Structures are given as structure tokens and as C-alpha cells.
Structure 1
Amino acid sequence: MKIGLYFGTFNPIHVGHLIIANHMVENSDLEEIWMVVTPHNPFKKKSSLLENNHRFELVYRATENYSKIKPSNIEFKLPQPNYTVHTLAHISDLHPENEFCLIMGEDNLKSFHKWKNYEVILENHHIYVYPRIAEGKVESQFSNHSKIHKVDAPIVQISSTMIRNGIKNKKNIQPLLSKEVWEYIDEMNFYKK
């Protein structure tokens, strides 16, 4: 099975993430999307992150009604800080029957040459890129690479930061979250301080 891995802190997961994941699985040759909840992104402040189990629960609830989109906590068991190249090697060893591909926004592709062992990732995995509005150009080596596939997904300008700030400032952000995610956040009083 050809599976796309969509990594994120998902703090929280919102409809933008679901729109992209669903578009990718419905409009490419990917058969499933696994939403990989990352325990801690080295580029983000840890203090603003909900605990791993709560973010996984939000992704689980958000994807429950999508048969082709699954939550994954595979990185929770790996040593931290973790790098995508290690996760890809680990998940490929665990599930050799599947072909794993990486899903990323165009903004990440622009800095992909700075990723740890990016050449190894490209050697062993295909990358599916969705459009994002971002400054700068994609490195020429990635422009027409045979393993990099651009998928004409909708540009979604919703961010988890926007949602967290909206909740903190008592704004109605319900349309930006699935019903199940909103109910869990509200019930647990997340992001209110």
C-alpha cells in the first residue's frame, strides 16, 4: 500500500489539515494518509504544546470518520529530538509491505536542503508537495526532481496559532475545527490561558 505521512504537531489539528490530507488521498496515487503527531519540533517552543496524548486524541477524533486518514503516534516511541529521516527508516522497517511517502507544504520544500540527511530521504521516498504561500524559491535541484510530486491542493490559510490565539481571546473559532475536536478542546479547557 502507498501511504503518505503527514507530519505535524497538530496543536490543534484543524479543518485545514483535514482538507489537505483528504485532497492528497483523493487526488493522488496515495491510498492512505497517516497523520504523524510529532512529540516536539526542534523549531517550536515546547511550552505552547499540549501533551502528546492530548494532541494524539485530537487527531484520532478528527480522523475517525475518514476511512483513508489514520492517526499515528509512531514518533512518541523514538528518541528525542527525532528527525524525519529516522522516522521514515523506522516505519519502513516496521511495515516493509508498505511504501511510505512524505507529504509537505511548499514552504518546507524551500528549506528541505537543510534537513538532516535529505538526500537519503529523496533516495528512498517520494515526496508529495501541496502549495503554501511563502517567500523564497524552491532549490533548483528540487524543481523537476523525479521523486517530488506537486499536488494542486487548495491553499488553506488557517493556522493552529490562529486557533490557539482565538480561544485565548474568547473568539468563536468553531468553524475552523471539526465538531469532535472542538468538543474535546472545550471540555478540557485547552488554550484558554
Structure 2
Amino acid sequence: MKVGLYFGSFNPIHVGHLVIANHMAEYSDLDQVWFVVTPHNPFKKKNSLLDDYQRLEMVYRATKDYTKLKPSDIEFKLPQPNYTINTLAYLQDKYANFEFALIMGEDNLKSFHKWKNYDVILENHHVYVYPRISGNHIETQFDNHTKIHHIDAPVMELSSTFIRKAIKAGKNVKPMLPEFVWEYLDEMNFYK
């Protein structure tokens, strides 16, 4: 099985995340996409970041009707601060029959060479890249790399930051969130 790992704080998960993940699961050779919820860094004070398990709960609620999309708390169990290379090594060890790939936005590819052991990641894993809003292709040193796959996913100009600010300002964000996520946020009074 080939699994794409989509890392993020998902604070909150929104329809843009789902559209990209579902597109990757349906229009690439990935069998599943796992939403890897990144844990709160204990050294960073971030009042706007919900608890790890609250964010995981939102991802669970958002993906429960999609057979190819799964929530993952795998990084909650790893020592902090954590690096992607460690997560990949852990997963490869735990799920020896699976092939893991990374999913990232085109803007992240620009700084990918700064990631810890990025060369080892590319030796052992494929990277699926989705476009960002700029519309212009971003030149990187990885443009012709055989392990980097540009997937023509829909471009979504929607961010969790925008949604949090809108909720705080009393705006209706219901269309931007999966229904079960909106209900959970509303019930819990998050971001108000």
C-alpha cells in the first residue's frame, strides 16, 4: 500500500485540506492519505493552537466519511522536537509493507533542501507537490528530480489562520469547514 503523509497543525482542518488530500488519493498512485497532526511544540507559546487531541478529533470528524483519508497521531508518540526523517523511519519500521510518500505545497519545496536529512528522504521516499495560489511555478533545485511529482490539484486560497480570525470576529465560516468540524468548533466555542 502506498500512503501519502500530509503533515499539519490542522488548527482547524478545513475544506481546502480535504480537497487537496482527496485529490491526491483519487488522482495519483497513492492508495491512502494520512493527515499527520503535528503536536504542539512545548517550547513555543501559541495561544491560538488547540490541544493536540482536539485537533486530532477535528481531523477524525472531517475524514470519517472518506475511506482513503485517515487521521494520524503518530507524531504524538515521538520525542520532541521531531523531524520528518524520524517520523518516516518510525513509520517504515512499524508498517514494513507500506510505502510512504510526503505531500507538500509547492512553497515548501523551496526550502526542502534545509530539512534535516532531506537527501535521505528523497533517496527513500517520493514527494507529491500541490500548487499554491501564486499561479507561477516556483523554480527549485528539485524541478527535474525523479522522486518529486507535481500533482495538478485544485488551488485553494483558504487558511486556518483566516478561519480562526473570522470566528473571533463573529463571521460565519460554516462553508469553509467540513460539517462535523464546524459543529464541534461551535459546540466547544473554539477560537472565539
TM tier relative to shorter chain: over 0.9
Match of 1:34 in 2: 34
Query: Does the CA-based 8 Å contact 1:107-1:133 persist in structure 2?
Result: no
2: CA distance, partners of 1:69 / 1:47: 28
Query: Does the CA-based 8 Å contact 1:110-1:136 persist in structure 2?
Result: no
Query: Does the CA-based 8 Å contact 1:105-1:130 persist in structure 2?
Result: yes
Report whether the alignment pairs 1:120 with 2:120: yes
Q: Which amino acid aligns with 1:104?
A: M
Q: Which amino acid aligns with 2:47?
A: S
Match of 1:145 in 2: 145
The 1:7/1:66 distance shift into structure 2, 3 A limit, reads same
Query: Does the CA-based 8 Å contact 2:40-2:51 persist in structure 1?
Result: no
* Secondary structure at the counterpart of residue 54 of structure 2: helix
Unmatched 5+ stretches in structure 1: none
Consecutive aligned runs of 4 or more in structure 1 exceeding 4 Å deviation = none
Q: Percent identity?
A: 68
Match of 2:186 in 1: 186
Match of 2:46 in 1: 46
Q: Which amino acid aligns with 1:126?
A: H
Q: CA RMSD for the aligned pairs? A: 1.8
2: CA distance, partners of 1:131 / 1:36: 20
Report whether the alignment pairs 1:96 with 2:63: no
CA drift of 1:45 comes to 5.4
CA drift of 1:41 comes to 6.1
The 1:161/1:136 distance shift into structure 2, 3 A limit, reads same
2: CA distance, partners of 1:136 / 1:149: 14
TM-score, structure 1 as length reference = 0.95
Query: Does the CA-based 8 Å contact 2:63-2:70 persist in structure 1?
Result: yes
Please give the per-residue CA displacement for 1:78-126, whole angstroms capped at 9, x wherever unaligned.
Answer: 0111111110111110000100000000010011011111111101100
The 1:121/1:41 distance shift into structure 2, 3 A limit, reads farther
Please give the per-residue CA displacement for 1:126-162, whole angstroms capped at 9, x wherever unaligned.
Answer: 000000135894322x000000000000100000000
Match of 1:157 in 2: 157
CA drift of 1:40 comes to 3.1
Q: Which amino acid aligns with 1:184?
A: Y
CA drift of 1:48 comes to 1.8
Please give the per-residue CA displacement for 1:30-67, whole angstroms capped at 9, x wherever unaligned.
Answer: 0000000000369x753321000000000000000000
